[in-house]
Structure 1
Amino acid sequence: MKRIDPNTQPLDTHQLITPRSGSVVIDCLLRFSENKKLITLLLLSLTPLVIYIEMIAMPNHRSFTLYVLLIILFSLMFKNVVLIGLFTLSLALLNYVSYIQHSNDYYLVMLVIEFIIYLCSGIIVSKLVVSLKEGRELHFRSIYSFLQIIQMKDHYTAVHSRHVAEHALAIAKEMNLSKEMQRDLYTGGLLHDIGKIGVPDHILLKPDRLTPGEFEEIKKHPEQGVALLQNVPYMKNQVVHDCVLYHHERYDGWGYPKGLKGKDIPLAGRILAVADTYDAVTTHRIYQSQRSPNEAKQLLQTHAGTQFDPEVVKAFIAVLKKEVPVYKAEKMKAEMKAMETVR
């Protein structure tokens, strides 16, 4: 968990949430289609077996043919309609040859119908996979666009968001949360401060402490962030929304914007609260001195049960014992001074 500069280190897109269709079958199909080695192995091993079954073992059956399986595999490997058509035609001809050798009532029109059915099956599968992949790429582009907007608004917030995402992911792994939850928390960490886009610059970039009125203005950013994400179809994800909306809630109920208490705060919000605070206090700002990792760890332990969920703090402390984040204090101070940003 090292300090990240978003200008030089690209996002690990494998940690980002992917659009989920709601269907386990379709989601598995998308992941399977990306494993070209496995598809190639299946094609090479299944093709002779299927031909043997269709032409020798069961040459005259009129039910579902295993050729469809080969066409689906081929369509996942090659998206070109012409190649799919040629492969489909060759299998349809093999099927035709098999039938006419063992039956007198198989006509040419059946070959045409069979070819059309096979071809449609292959094209549908191919187009479905392409559509799902394009949707995922659109999703990634949406996240990058949000991060670019944040960076243009305030470079510190962009860097801070990357740190928080890494910390949240580490906590999730330590708590043995699901891979899906880990990815969603990572994305939520990246976008948890997206609502600060709507905060006026004279408040967000103010070089001193905020007045009570200004603080009330900046407290609106969680709800503003959720409102912004609602307009992006692929970002309608509950865990991400929980990260954005609840990362300033306190375990004792004195947080904002909803004033939730204890386990009423969604787990994503409780995790982000720890990750967010840790990075905030270990970062140099004009109005706040940078604390060491040990000081930040003591702060988390002191406020466990009041500001933070004790279980989440315990998990993060375990992470810190395994690998203390590397902080290049002088470099960070120089960067912050050059950028003249504070929040």
Structure 2
Amino acid sequence: MIKAMENINSPSDKLGILHLLEMWVKKLISCDEYYLWIKDEGEPKKFKKIIQENIIGKKSELIENLNVTEEFKTVLFIPMIINDVVEGALLLADNDRNKLKLHHVQLIEPLVQTAIGKIEYMLTKDGERELIKELLFTAIKAGEGYNEAMVGHSVRVAEIALLIGKRLGLTGEELKSLEYAALLHDIGQSAIFYHRLDSDLEGEKIDHTYHPVFGAALIPDGEPFLAIKDAILYHHEHYDGTGYPEGLKYTDIPLMARIIAVADTYDAVTNLASEEDRLDHEKAVVFIKRGLGSWYDPLVVVAFEEVEKEIAFLKEKTKTNDNSI
């Protein structure tokens, strides 16, 4: 039982948790049918009446002596309650009146509670993460304020980078790191701007190519931040080694940096460029494809092409939002 509870507690996504819960219940108890009901998915016809009658009580029930017209003679109903709301239920059903007993609830409930506890923890962490993202968005907007044209750039780059990252098979923590790195990829530009304000030397200029180095330096050291730090530092490296700050090439450039490079370029040529140089979506795609193998990783460019319709939709949505302000 301890092994089962530890196993159920291991996935980092809701579906994985529920899948393992169902798997362990099937190992522990033999019956004709198992059904994991999730509130948002609606009730199946054969269990609809049982679910509707029993979610009100919010407690586990052994439903016996069902009408002979019912498909099953006994049903074990175990609700999944999160924040005092029934979000789903585990149902075990059998045509043998003597197969399922109330003591089976005591066997299964610890597993259900383990699953619920992990899901509640994930929901709490997701809420905290959304709060952090909102605060991050606010800080980014303030940082981009040094140049009106830059406002919104980092958020757009992050949205595009996530589409590409998902297409490349990144999941979970990798996507979170990619999103944060994309949101913060130009944070070093603000550092350059404020350095100029503080400079005692009139007319002193700082090469903007230093901004990846300045940006990476602002990210804390340590394992949790390493992927984010490297993506910021190397997002202007070119696949053929002609980029900066270190002239890395090929897969020596971190994958997240290679993804951000494509997303950054797309937004730069479609939004940041001067009006006479600005490209529409179709021309921007062609522009990026021309850099395949020289500036950009071919694998990333292919993934970019495969999600270009979604990217075009994002661009139109941004244009609509801007026009409504």
State if a TM-score over 0.5 links the two structures. Answer: yes
CA contact (8 A) 2:165 2:175 kept: no
1:306 paired with 2:281, answer: no
TM-score by length of 2: 0.56
1:148-159, aligned counterparts within 5 Å?
A: 148-155=138-145, 156-159=149-152
CA deviations 1:12-55 (Å, max 9, x no partner) are xxxxxxxxx992276536678994245976986698995559xx
Deviation at 1:152, TM superposition (A): 1.6
Q: 2:278 aligns with which of 291, 294, 300?
A: 291
Deviation at 1:170, TM superposition (A): 3.8
Q: Which has the higher contact order (CA 8 A, sep 6+)?
A: 1
Rounded Cα–Cα distance in structure 2 between residues aligned with 1:34 and 1:226? 44
More strand by share: 2
Q: What is the SS of the residue equivalent to 1:199?
A: helix
Q: Which amino acid aligns with 1:28?
A: L
**Root mean square deviation, CA, Å:** 5.1
Deviation at 1:143, TM superposition (A): 1.7
Q: Structure 2 regions of 5+ residues with no counterpart?
A: 1-7, 20-35, 55-59, 66-74, 87-100, 198-202
1:131 paired with 2:121, answer: yes
Deviation at 1:213, TM superposition (A): 2.9
Q: Which amino acid aligns with 2:292?
A: A
Shift in CA distance, 116/321, structure 1 to aligned 2, threshold 3 Å: closer
Rounded Cα–Cα distance in structure 2 between residues aligned with 1:115 and 1:322? 47
Deviation at 1:227, TM superposition (A): 2.4
Aligned pair count reads 257
1:275 paired with 2:266, answer: no
Q: What is the SS of the residue equivalent to 1:77?
A: strand
Q: Structure 1 regions of 5+ residues with no counterpart?
A: 1-20, 54-65, 84-97, 100-110, 336-343
Q: Which residue number corresponds to residue 178 of structure 1? A: 169
Shift in CA distance, 275/216, structure 1 to aligned 2, threshold 3 Å: closer
Deviation at 1:310, TM superposition (A): 2.7
TM-score by length of 1: 0.54
Shift in CA distance, 183/328, structure 1 to aligned 2, threshold 3 Å: closer
More helix by share: 1
Rounded Cα–Cα distance in structure 1 between residues aligned with 2:310 and 2:159? 15
Shift in CA distance, 144/244, structure 1 to aligned 2, threshold 3 Å: farther
CA contact (8 A) 1:199 1:218 kept: yes
Deviation at 1:187, TM superposition (A): 1.8
Rounded Cα–Cα distance in structure 1 between residues aligned with 2:161 and 2:137? 17
Rounded Cα–Cα distance in structure 1 between residues aligned with 2:107 and 2:61? 22
CA contact (8 A) 1:250 1:259 kept: yes
Q: Which amino acid aligns with 1:201?
A: F
CA contact (8 A) 1:222 1:246 kept: no
Q: 2:159 aligns with which of 166, 171, 176?
A: 166
What's the % identity of the aligned pairs? Answer: 23
CA contact (8 A) 1:194 1:225 kept: no
Rounded Cα–Cα distance in structure 2 between residues aligned with 1:276 and 1:238? 20
Shift in CA distance, 327/77, structure 1 to aligned 2, threshold 3 Å: closer
1:212-231, aligned counterparts within 5 Å?
A: 213-215=206-208, 217-224=210-217, 226-227=219-220
Rounded Cα–Cα distance in structure 2 between residues aligned with 1:298 and 1:119? 57
Shift in CA distance, 78/292, structure 1 to aligned 2, threshold 3 Å: closer
